[in-house]
Amino acid sequence: MTTRPTETTETPLGAADPTPRHAPSGEQVVLRHGPHEAVVTEVGATLRAYTVGGLEVVQPYAADQIAPASHGAVLAPWPNRLRDGAYTFDGTDHQVPVNEVGRMTALHGLVCWVRFEVSARTTTDAEDAVELTHRIVPTSGYPFDVLLTVRYALTDAGLTVTTTAANDGTQRAPYGVGFHPWLSTRGAAVDDCTLRLDAETRVTTDDRLLPVGTEPVTGPYDHREASTLAGAVLDDAFVGVLRDADGLSWAELATLDGRTTRLWMDETFGSWQVCTGDFINPPSIRRSAVAVEPQTCYADAFRTGELLVVLEPGASHTSRWGLVLA
């Protein structure tokens, strides 16, 4: 089923500019359950906004904007960076487009700017949910027939995001997925927030932010206990993921309003990425929120094989993560 782009009425001359007739992020799907409200977009299956009782959980962007810094993006079939956009898989060399020219990397996969289809919509007393699908078009750079399904569901417990990648082709496919929510500080400075992160190992990087090794977390990188972000400059991946009795790993951002945003990821995710946004563009959003990104694998996995998922023909991979405002 293909949905129609959102349409708005025309505004008389001399009035403020109207929202574009066709929003850059396409159709806007609004989910509501009790005090919870989320907006999911057709383009990229992005989480554009999520609030609880009117309080921001993620930093939103406007319907008439292009997502400014991968806000709410689905990162598939690889998250983070791929060196030179080049990799070898099962003996064949592949080249995908380089879209981060300054670092000569292919950043955040292939689906951030494609249209998904709303394949299911469910509203019950227990949940309000939407499912979106996109079949990745096989190309010489990624010649694999992978159907991606992303489901957002609001319940009393918060937001749960379930992603399934199914290999409908005849050859093995490399795969990874991540998500890019910018957690809202609800008006506080990042320096006045604290972070707790279930990870004991940091991935070290070169000047292109590509991995060169790992080391135990220390100093400003050690957030196993809630600790201040004052002065912390982060754009780092973390492994050595710690889990609770249910197999979940948690990140917690506490703000001056006494509330804590809690993000969990299941055992299919092997890495966290945390970014304080010091060097992103546009400059107006630098250190205005904290990106906390669940990742099944981290940068350059198509080349290194670290935490890489290999989908056999006919196989699928399902992962879950979610958000709670405490």
At 147-171, the pLDDT tens digits run 999 999 999 999 999 999 999 999 9
pTM: 0.92
Mean pLDDT of 136-140: 97
pLDDT over 60 at 244, yes or no: yes
Rounded to whole angstroms, what are the CA distances from 191 to 123, 228, 251, 308?
39, 7, 17, 34
| First-to-final CA distance of the chain | 37
Mean pLDDT of 277-291: 92
Mean pLDDT of 200-206: 98
From the CB of residue 217, how many other CB atoms can be counted at a distance below 10 Å? Answer: 18
pLDDT band at 284; cut points 50, 70, 90: confident
pLDDT band at 6; cut points 50, 70, 90: very low
With residues binned 3-state (H G I as helix, E B as strand, rest as coil), the percentages for the chain, rounded to 5, are 5, 45, 50
Mean pLDDT of 218-233: 97
pLDDT band at 117; cut points 50, 70, 90: very high
- Secondary structure (3-state) at 191: helix
d(C-alpha 199, C-alpha 249), whole Å:
8
pLDDT over 60 at 307, yes or no: yes
**Burial class of residue 268 in the structure, from the number of CB atoms within 10 Å of its CB (0-12 exposed, 13-18 middle, 19+ buried):** middle
